[in-house]
Structure 1
Amino acid sequence: MSGAVPRPDRERGFLGFVERAGNLLPDPTIIFIYLIVVLMLVSALGEAMGWSASLSYPGEKAPEHAELANGVLTYRASNLFSEENIARLFTEMPRTFASFAPLGLVLTIMMGAAVAERSGLFSALIRGSLRNARKSLLTPIVAIIGMVSHHASDAAYVVFIPLAAITFAIVGRHPLAGLAAAFAAVSGGYAGNIMPGQIDVLLFGFTQEAARIVEPGWTMNPLGNWYFILGIVILFTPIIWFVTDRIVEPRLGTWNGVVDAELRADLDKAELTADERKGLRRAGLVALLIVAAFAALALWPGYTPFINEEAEGTARLQPLYASLIAGFFMLFLFTGTAFGRAAGAIKSAADVMEMMQHGVRTMAPYLVFVFFAAHFVAMFNWSRIGPIIAINGAEALAEMALPAALLLVSVLLLSSFLDLFIGSASAKWSALSPVVVPMFMLLGISPEMTTAAYRMGDSYTNIMTPLMSYFPLILAFSQRWDRSMGVGSLLALMLPYALCFMAMGIAMTVAWVGFDLPLGPGAQVHYTIPVETK
């Protein structure tokens, strides 16, 4: 299961082109620096050429960066090289960075998630779920656990995928089939999950900033895609089951490997210790207590901090939605602490603090990225190019009378194409959202639905690009079982999953719009601009 691996020829064909083109792209942070420079030049050109956009507006007070006269709201391009904008850039730089909505949300979640990960809770949940899986149901179990394991961040790739291969081998099935099924679930099914988590908060943070171009008071709902991502789990699981058992594994042939002492030792490492099992029981109890506490704050007679009694409809639940960020933080923090105390990973409060600090340290690259992304978003708003593109683009699309489903599929396909070159979901969405979110809002499509379409497209191509950050790691895992595995071999192994996911993703997006299905609590496909902000 080891030895030299021939270097694949990466210079030929479409995949060779994709790899060469992708390698020419700089780091996402550098991309945003370039985007800021381009934006400043375009803003100067826009003001010189008199770019503008107008729409009717019954309100009495104009939104920021807009002019109001005779019931008509007008946006005019603003030169970012002007004295006012240059002064704002430098004098408001700390505030621009610190007030960027996704920053506080993500840091809050990550401090709690770091405790759950570093204490071993996430790893134990993955190992405990897969260790005793029945052979006949092994593939669907791998699929479901893989999509749920996104909450575990790196553990999903580093722990779950090789463990799936080992488990397949132990029961006499081809380990590469297990690796492929796990990789497809973890990476190709990245948009799916049973419960919202960190990625929902991260992406909706960018969505919120973009939606406020049209509706300044629009507030993110972390559950805004819950039903959609749950639908992905339900629909992608049988796809992974069918493709693995009927296409991938037969193509691989019979596995003639030997379950040697090394393999047995690897599987033994997956066995939960008595302390870990005790930790999982305690973590489960703590999770129930936290859920009960949040339910009480929303339902307790005469004391409902999480309910806005003065609002109507789903708006009454807005405080509850807003509290979910803190809820996820507490869930990860306290369940991780309970597990760590029982398993021996946490011996004092200082250990918990160190884990939280580690979580913040791991976010250092993100902080650097956010600094420039925050300024790009802010300067995009100052230039007024966003609403100009959104309003004029919406008018052009409205004249074409394209159905909402087709518009969303276009976003999905654009997202999947960009994913071949830029792996970071947040980097792509932070650049795309200021244009597509407000544009689609003006066409009657909700920010939640636009985000859902983007997430779908961002997922299934993850398993088809060598530029994905974990692709070399998955290749190394596969070479343990077959020394001849190269980049092309792994791409060919994953291609059936990607094609099936793409077909199902497009069909699912179209069906969601066609049947006007709810995306989550309080989140619908269609959007109507409130009267006060029209």
Structure 2
Amino acid sequence: MRGNWLDKIEFLGNKLPNPTMLFIYLSLVVIFASFVLSKLGVSVDYEFIKDQKITTQTASVVNLLLASEIRNFTSSVLKNFTNFYPLGVVFVIILGIGIADKSGLLSVLVRKIALSTKAKFITPIIVFLGISSNIASSVGYVVLIPLGAILFMGFNRHPVAGLAAAFAGVSGGWSANLLIGTNDPMFAAFSMQAASMIDPNYVVLPTANWYFMIASTFLIIIVGTYVTEKIVEPRLGAFKKDEIIYEKISDDDNRGLKFASISAVIFIALILALVIPKNSLFGDTGAGFMKSAFMSNIIVFMMLFFMVIGVAFGVGNKSIKSSTDAVNFMQTAIAELSGFLVLIFFAAQFTYLFNTSNIGLILSVKGSNFLKDIGLTGLPLIVVFVVLTAFINLFIAVDSAKWAMMAPIFVPMFMNLGLSPELTQAAFRIGDSTTNIITPLMPFFVLIVAFMQKYDRNLKIGSVILIMLPYTIAFLISWIGLICLWYAFDLPLGVDAYIHYTPSR
């Protein structure tokens, strides 16, 4: 019976188009809906912030099939793409991350930390490294997860449990971290674009969920460790292993780590010197630190940081022998981003059509009024939204695609109910992360199945889902509990990011 519903989930999910085609289809749906709804005269009155004053305006559905709208859309296709905020922030941060990743710095760091761990700490360390690896996108999937199996075998433990712990950290803990990664600017960009429908001057920083992410890191470590050692591993039983030979960190890599550490200290010291003093180059010049050049351009500084330590490591371990090598690393990283760039192009067109039609604005206002009427607001609404996102993630596993589609609806809707875009984003990320580890549609899921079948040939997709299901349930319940705690005490979610929406000034 269990296999039946798992098979149904996989069957239905496989029927969905890829995310790029999904945006094309959604764009066509919006065009058709705008024609029908405009003929029906659908409109709504809403409050809009302009010149620091709240005014009431009426929004009507715009028929996108009008000749004037077709001409406007055709003329704006290129601008929609080049001006789409997520494009720039993701492109820039990948330049820095690319050097740090391709030079070998990130994978060596993961191996060095894991291989120097004591037996009793191996599970929490593997989960923690999995969480931390998301600053470099997919590096955790290809480096840490197979290493988790080897480490568990080295301590006479079942390798599949090691794979499960690592996978839970990498994918289930996707929205937790101690550092800001490549996903944070992307999510913030989509959130800010959606928030502009209600408040054009509202700013969502890449650090919008940072404090919550830090707390989430410790939560996922504790819960992931408990599930691995008390639920998953006992069910797997004993495992007969051959002798394991660990791949040691080479002298070149150790030298690279030394160079990277020195360069990181120098870089941070230099930035502090340029930020902390009053009226400094990148610091507070009188408008407040949050509006300083440093905070306004934090993506650039993140890129430079990863570039500096990546190049230093590459020089130390001899993977970078000339400037050409560093450029090649950046080019390779951008090439791997090609699928995302295609996705972004069509997402940008969808966003233009959705916003121009006013359908998103009308949905958000009418939706918020409906929720007010039935009394579903505040914390219960956030909990329902987390569960809804977790369910949707079973079928649409690409986080950027989901948030690009959901943000224009839910961010303005929740703003109308007094909830901040940062809170909506945090709730989305909880739901998005928790079911990553049980959906066959997640891009790396097949890779995890292959890793597990290496140690148990009888394991199939349904078996792997059942192994990972306790993590999903435990993560979802505990993470909802954490955001409830955050809401109850009205704690800041990140830098200048709060639970309740306050209009920009």
Amino acid at match of 2:150: I
Q: CA-to-partner distance for each residue in 1:286-336, whole Å, 9 max, x for gaps?
A: 22222223322221233243325135xx6x445432221011101111111
Say which SS state the counterpart of residue 74 (structure 1) adopts.
strand
Point out the more displaced range, 226-235 or 448-457: 226-235
Amino acid at match of 2:354: F
> Given the alignment, which residue of 373, 376, 381 partners 2:355?
381
Q: CA deviation at 1:174?
A: 1.4
Query: What is the CA–CA distance in structure 2 between the aligned matches of 1:474 and 1:51, rounded to whole Å?
Result: 48
Aligned to 2:268: 291
CA contact (8 A) 2:44 2:362 kept: yes
User: Structure 1 residues 170, 282: closer, same or farther in 2, change over 3 A?
Assistant: same
Q: CA deviation at 1:367?
A: 1.1
1:15 has 2:10 as partner: no
Aligned to 1:432: 406
Query: What is the CA–CA distance in structure 2 between the aligned matches of 1:526 and 1:183, rounded to whole Å?
Result: 34
Point out the more displaced range, 340-349 or 51-60: 51-60
User: Structure 1 residues 57, 119: closer, same or farther in 2, change over 3 A?
Assistant: closer
Aligned to 1:43: 34
Aligned to 1:512: 486
CA contact (8 A) 2:379 2:484 kept: yes
Query: What is the CA–CA distance in structure 2 between the aligned matches of 1:367 and 1:241, rounded to whole Å?
Result: 36
Aligned to 2:95: 111
Query: What is the CA–CA distance in structure 2 between the aligned matches of 1:122 and 1:416, rounded to whole Å?
Result: 29
1:84 has 2:68 as partner: yes
CA contact (8 A) 1:140 1:241 kept: yes
Q: CA deviation at 1:402?
A: 2.3
Q: CA deviation at 1:59?
A: 4.5
Q: CA deviation at 1:484?
A: 1.6
1:235 has 2:219 as partner: yes
Q: CA deviation at 1:394?
A: 1.6
Q: How many residues align?
A: 505
Aligned to 1:3: none
CA contact (8 A) 1:223 1:520 kept: yes
CA contact (8 A) 1:518 1:524 kept: yes
Amino acid at match of 2:452: S
Aligned to 1:348: 322
CA contact (8 A) 1:390 1:435 kept: yes
CA contact (8 A) 2:135 2:179 kept: no
Q: CA deviation at 1:57?
A: 5.2
Amino acid at match of 1:292: A
Point out the more displaced range, 507-516 or 416-425: 507-516
User: Structure 1 residues 365, 57: closer, same or farther in 2, change over 3 A?
Assistant: closer
CA contact (8 A) 1:516 1:525 kept: yes
Say which SS state the counterpart of residue 45 (structure 2) adopts.
strand
CA contact (8 A) 1:222 1:321 kept: no
1:124-523 maps to which residues of 2 (within 5 A)? 124-259=108-243, 263-264=244-245, 267-268=246-247, 271-311=248-288, 316-317=290-291, 319-523=293-497
Query: What is the CA–CA distance in structure 2 between the aligned matches of 1:318 and 1:392, rounded to whole Å?
Result: 37
Q: CA-to-partner distance for each residue in 1:465-499, whole Å, 9 max, x for gaps?
A: 11211111111111221222221221121111111
Percent of residue pairs identical: 37
1:25-36 maps to which residues of 2 (within 5 A)? 25-36=16-27
Query: What is the CA–CA distance in structure 2 between the aligned matches of 1:449 and 1:240, rounded to whole Å?
Result: 24
Query: What is the CA–CA distance in structure 2 between the aligned matches of 1:164 and 1:61, rounded to whole Å?
Result: 54
Q: CA deviation at 1:188?
A: 0.9
Say which SS state the counterpart of residue 501 (structure 1) adopts.
helix
Query: What is the CA–CA distance in structure 1 between the aligned matches of 2:15 and 2:168, rounded to whole Å?
Result: 27
User: Structure 1 residues 115, 48: closer, same or farther in 2, change over 3 A?
Assistant: same
Say which SS state the counterpart of residue 73 (structure 1) adopts.
strand
Aligned to 1:6: none
User: Structure 1 residues 495, 112: closer, same or farther in 2, change over 3 A?
Assistant: same
Show structure 2 runs of 5+ residues with no match: none
Q: CA deviation at 1:522?
A: 0.7
* TM-score normalized by the length of structure 1: 0.91
CA contact (8 A) 1:215 1:529 kept: yes
Q: CA-to-partner distance for each residue in 1:95-143, whole Å, 9 max, x for gaps?
A: 1110000000000011111111110001101111101210011111111
Query: What is the CA–CA distance in structure 2 between the aligned matches of 1:173 and 1:57, rounded to whole Å?
Result: 59
CA contact (8 A) 1:115 1:355 kept: yes
Query: What is the CA–CA distance in structure 1 between the aligned matches of 2:64 and 2:295, rounded to whole Å?
Result: 36
Amino acid at match of 1:276: D
User: Structure 1 residues 240, 57: closer, same or farther in 2, change over 3 A?
Assistant: closer
Aligned to 1:65: none
Show structure 1 runs of 5+ residues with no match: 1-8, 63-67
Q: CA-to-partner distance for each residue in 1:51-77, whole Å, 9 max, x for gaps?
A: 111134574699xxxxx9xx5312111
Q: CA-to-partner distance for each residue in 1:343-400, whole Å, 9 max, x for gaps?
A: 0110000111111111111111111111110011011111111211112222222233
Point out the more displaced range, 220-229 or 505-514: 505-514
User: Structure 1 residues 195, 72: closer, same or farther in 2, change over 3 A?
Assistant: same
Amino acid at match of 1:523: A
Query: What is the CA–CA distance in structure 1 between the aligned matches of 2:196 and 2:271, rounded to whole Å?
Result: 28
User: Structure 1 residues 318, 417: closer, same or farther in 2, change over 3 A?
Assistant: farther
Say which SS state the counterpart of residue 469 (structure 1) adopts.
coil
Q: CA-to-partner distance for each residue in 1:435-480, whole Å, 9 max, x for gaps?
A: 0001111111111110000000001111111121111111111122
Query: What is the CA–CA distance in structure 2 between the aligned matches of 1:115 and 1:335, rounded to whole Å?
Result: 9
Say which SS state the counterpart of residue 54 (structure 1) adopts.
strand
Q: CA deviation at 1:219?
A: 2.0
CA contact (8 A) 1:223 1:321 kept: no
Query: What is the CA–CA distance in structure 1 between the aligned matches of 2:49 and 2:253, rounded to whole Å?
Result: 61
